[in-house]
Amino acid sequence: MSTTMTQEKERQTAEVTQEQFLEGLNVDLAHEYSAVITYRTYASQVQGQWRMELRQFFESEIPDELGHAQILADKIVTLGGTPTTVPSPVKAGRDSKEMLRNALEDEIETIDRYVLRRKQAEALGHYGLAVEFDDLIRDESTHRDEINMILKRWDTG
Ligand SMILES: [Fe+2]
Ligand SMILES: [Fe+2]
């Protein structure tokens, strides 16, 4: 196994140092900021016969993602870290279907990261924070399910 692969593997385990955990929380925060920008951008850009519905749908996600960013930024400061101010890259969506697929992919990745982060929080004894991740996992799962429902009947109406 190459060094990079070993390092990658280590990051996937629950056994992390406090420093690595803080780095992970900042990755999460960068993705929440990116989600806010993504949903805002898609809401403005979306075109076609479902524009009004999708615009409203994308906009309805923003307060949730901003709330998640608040929880993460507060916890990073509480744990002695510095919250990132740089969002992770926003994926371009050329049409409404690609926007929905990008959003679905992001939500699924986010759930995976939070399941891991929850385990890491517990391993480090941050039990309160572990419970907060339950709420985040619930919210992102709802987002994922809603997007899935929209995409399911996309071509047949
Ligand atoms: Fe979120
Ligand atoms: Fe979400």
Check residue 6 and give its pLDDT. 53
List, in order, residues 6 or more apart from 77 with CB less than 8 Å away: 83
Task: For residue 136, report the distance from its CA to the centre of ligand 1, in Å.
Answer: 7
Check residue 7 and give its pLDDT. 52
Task: For residue 64, report the distance from its CA to the centre of ligand 1, in Å.
Answer: 6
Task: For residue 31, report the distance from its CA to the centre of ligand 1, in Å.
Answer: 8
Residues with CB under 5 A from ligand 2 (ion): 107, 140, 143
Question: pLDDT digits over 8-60, tens only?
Answer: 554 567 889 999 999 999 999 999 999 999 999 999 999 999 999 999 999 99
Task: For residue 21, report the distance from its CA to the centre of ligand 1, in Å.
Answer: 18
CA angle 146, 148, 154 (to 5 degrees): 110
Task: For residue 81, report the distance from its CA to the centre of ligand 2, in Å.
Answer: 24
**How many whole angstroms separate alpha carbon 133 and alpha carbon 68?**
10
AA identity, residue 14 = A
User: Contact at 8 Å (CB) between 139 and 68?
Assistant: yes
User: Contact at 8 Å (CB) between 148 and 111?
Assistant: no
Look at 155 and 47; give whichever has higher pLDDT. 47
Task: For residue 3, report the distance from its CA to the centre of ligand 2, in Å.
Answer: 33
For residue 90, give the nearest of 79, 78, 103 by alpha carbon.
103
Task: For residue 144, report the distance from its CA to the centre of ligand 2, in Å.
Answer: 7
Q: What is the pTM of this model?
A: 0.90
Question: pLDDT digits over 80-99, tens only?
Answer: 999 999 999 999 999 999 99
Question: Considering every ligand atom, which ligand is closest to the CA of 68?
Answer: 1
